[in-house]
Structure 1
Amino acid sequence: MAKTLVIYFSRSGENYVDGKIKNLVKGNTEIVAEYIQECVDVDLFKVETEKEYSNNYMECIEEAKQEIQQDSRPKLKKYLNDISEYDNIVVAGPCWWGTYPMSIFSELEGLDFRGKNVFSIMTHEGSGFGSSKQSLMIFCKGGNVMNGLAIHGAEVQESKKMIQKWAEENLK
């Protein structure tokens, strides 16, 4: 059986959900990662920045926009050093300005993806995958970027069966 690692970034607090600002106790992407872990034996690695994003949604999206414009790599609380034991790598995050949060790229840089199957999972409010697949092709050199899953954030709670079906079909 293939060994799988889910690398994910998730944000709780104020989020844009179904056309409104809502306070989430747990971020949508973290819920997705946990749904996957419930049905398939995977390891989870949560990407956490040293400097937290603002809890205010409008301020947070401006911070994210600045990071993208500056092509910055936020410092993380901890980094993975080695993914050699894994066959599959799932990279999961919210779609911010059409791509992953820059903290995801802080984590991916320097990892060796040769021979790995790499899957994109994006939670979004209408952007779908954005440019996440293209980003994975750039940052996961040598990896085989596979079809992933784009999940409407407002529907994450109701998507457990669909998420788990995808995981069982792709990660075992």
Structure 2
Amino acid sequence: MLILYFSHSGNTRTLAEYIHSKIGGDMLELKTVSPYPSDYDAVVDQAQQEQRRNARPDISTGIPNLEAYDTVFIGYPNWWGTLPMPFFTLLERQPLGRKTIVPFCTHEGSRFGRSERDLQRLCPEARMLEGFEVRGSRVGQARADVDAWLRRLGFLAG
């Protein structure tokens, strides 16, 4: 398994690390060549502009041989209703074929938005499992919910 995530404020990273602590596998953070601004309003504006332009930001993360993984957890903050544009860059360059995809996202009220549909469009041959979403401000209190989700999917015994 691979846990592949993008995190700006750290909420998605915290969630990815917790999932990793429960199921193991490899973990990799997707990063861009040009870092996003640290200021919240500036990053929100940039994310919206990228979507409007249908941009594909350059990524700096070296992606391992994805053929080695059967299951890929994909974690991200919901930016303007979908996953951050760096995932579009990655998944168009390295399709996931018939792998199993498990999405998880952080948000501040928009839940998954259209991100699951966009993931399915980017990975049309993949099998998508039920995702997990949580408000970024509640990530620290979501452990029991994450455990229950992982159990429902068969990644945790019990």
For the criterion TM > 0.5, the same-fold answer is: yes
Query: Does the aligned pair in 2 maintain the 1:120–1:133 contact within 8 Å?
Result: yes
Residue 114 of structure 1 deviates from its aligned partner by 2.4
The code of the aligned residue for 1:28 comes to N
Q: Is the strand fraction higher in 1 or 2?
A: 1
Matches of 2:131 and 2:68, distance apart in 1:
21
Residue 163 of structure 1 deviates from its aligned partner by 1.2
The code of the aligned residue for 1:8 comes to Y
The code of the aligned residue for 1:116 comes to K
Q: 1:6-155 counterparts in 2 under 5 A?
A: 6-12=3-9, 27-80=10-63, 82-155=65-138
Q: Is the helix fraction higher in 1 or 2?
A: 2
**3-state SS of the aligned residue for 1:69?**
helix
Q: Percent identity?
A: 31
TM-score by length of structure 2 reads 0.91
Query: Does the aligned pair in 2 maintain the 1:40–1:171 contact within 8 Å?
Result: no
Root-mean-square deviation (Å): 1.4
TM-score by length of structure 1 reads 0.84
1:105-158, Cα deviation, whole Å (9 max, x unpaired): 112222242221111111011001111111111111210122111111111000
The code of the aligned residue for 1:31 comes to T
The code of the aligned residue for 1:121 comes to F
Which runs of 5 or more residues in structure 2 are unaligned? none
Find runs of 4+ consecutive structure 1 residues off by over 4 angstroms: none
Matched, 1:5 2:2: yes
